[in-house]
A and B are shown apart, each in its own frame.
Chain A
């Protein structure tokens, strides 16, 4: 298992760059969060069948919900993220939303409406921004939820479009117009 820093540097250069502007003491938590995002975002590429992907998502759900006090999973990133969740009092519901939204990645069914697309982008991109906010400044984060939602949607939509050929090859369509 690669350390979180290596995962993010290798697979999500944009977010890796953003952590360089965060206070040094917050970087490990942000990198663990972004590495988790990389891991769950690439599940579709690592499995042959949706059920195998569902099992991986469920593994993460169970690992995170067990809490930091429970026996270590032995998975470096999961154990690190559990410590981050405890340290920054991050809501498990937000992680559940991220994991639930990633179920959509496992199937080739298109999102039928603009609202569904925005929901997916809000849960994935927006949820990640808001969790980052809670790590960076929990007091200010509560007033930044709406901005996080729009920022996440904007970035997720541009991400989906920039990778259209990849999504087309694997038969995945995020939106029908």
Chain B
């Protein structure tokens, strides 16, 4: 059993990180399948989640660095994703 508090960067921490990123992607995938049927009226509630995949991409790129340094997604990128999904939805 490994946890991300006690574990220093290394193979065990990488495995836990990879498992959590995979779990996050699984939920993104299931959400996006359902999101195509969402009415436009509900889009604002889901806009924060629209950025989840980009967060997970950034986390994957950062690798074990995420244990030492917080990962950021630029406000401009977040706004661009929100604008696109607010306009076009998840079709």
A→B interface (CB under 8 Å): 13-15, 17-19, 21-22, 26, 30, 108, 110, 114, 117-118, 121, 125, 129, 132-133, 136-137, 140-141, 143-144, 146-148, 150-155, 157-168, 171-177
Q: Is the CB of A165 within 8 A of B70?
A: yes
**Which A residues lie within 8 Å of B53 (CB)?**
154
Task: Give chain A residues whose Cβ lies under 8 Å from the Cβ of B27.
Answer: 121, 150-151, 153-154, 157
Q: Which of B2, B21, B39, B75 lies in contact with A161, CB distance below 8 A?
A: B21
Asked if B45 and A132 sit within 8 Å, CB to CB, the answer is yes
Pair B82/A13 contact, Cβ less than 8 Å: no
Which secondary structure dominates where chain A touches chain B?
helix
Number of residue pairs spanning A and B whose beta carbons lie under 8 angstroms apart: 163
- Contact residues in B for A13 (Cβ distance below 8 Å): 75, 78
Interface residues of B (CB under 8 A from A): 1-6, 15-17, 19-21, 23-25, 27-28, 30-31, 34-35, 37-39, 41-49, 51-53, 55-56, 58-59, 66-73, 75, 78-79, 82, 86
Q: Which of A17, A154, A163, A168 contacts B24 (CB 8 A)?
A: A154
Find chain A residues with CB under 8 A from B2 CB. Answer: 176-177
Can you name the residue of chain B whose Cβ is closest to the Cβ of A162?
Answer: B71
Known: A17-B47, A19-B44. A157 touches B24 (CB 8 A): yes
Q: How far is the CA of A118 from the CA of B70 in the complex (A)?
A: 22
Instruction: List, in ascending order, chain A residues with CB within 8 A of B5's CB.
Output: 108, 110, 167-168, 171-173
Are A155 and B49 in contact, with the CB atoms below 8 A? yes
Bound-state Cα–Cα, A65 to B35, Å? 32
Contact in complex: A17, B79 (CB < 8 Å): yes
Supply 29 A–B pairs (Cβ within 8 Å), ascending by A.
Answer: A13-B75, A14-B51, A15-B48, A21-B44, A21-B82, A21-B86, A26-B44, A110-B3, A114-B23, A117-B20, A129-B45, A133-B45, A137-B41, A140-B42, A144-B38, A147-B34, A150-B28, A150-B30, A155-B49, A161-B55, A161-B56, A161-B71, A162-B59, A162-B72, A164-B70, A165-B68, A174-B4, A176-B2, A177-B1
Once bound together, how far apart are the Cα atoms of A175 and B80, in whole Å? 31
